[in-house]
Chain A
Amino acid sequence: EAGVTQFPSHSVIEKGQTVTLRCDPISGHDNLYWYRRVMGKEIKFLLHFVKESKQDESGMPNNRFLAERTGGTYSTLKVQPAELEDSGVYFCASSQEGSTSGRRGSETQYFGPGTRLLVL
Chain B
Amino acid sequence: EVQLVESGGGLVQPGGSLRLSCAASGFTVSSNYMSWVRQAPGKGLEWVSVIYSGGSTYYADSVKGRFTISRDNSKNTLYLQMNSLRAEDTAVYYCARAGPAAPRSFDYWGQGTLVTVSS
The answer to whether A and B come from one shared complex is no
* Interface, chain A (partner B; CB < 8 A): none
* Interface, chain B (partner A; CB < 8 A): none
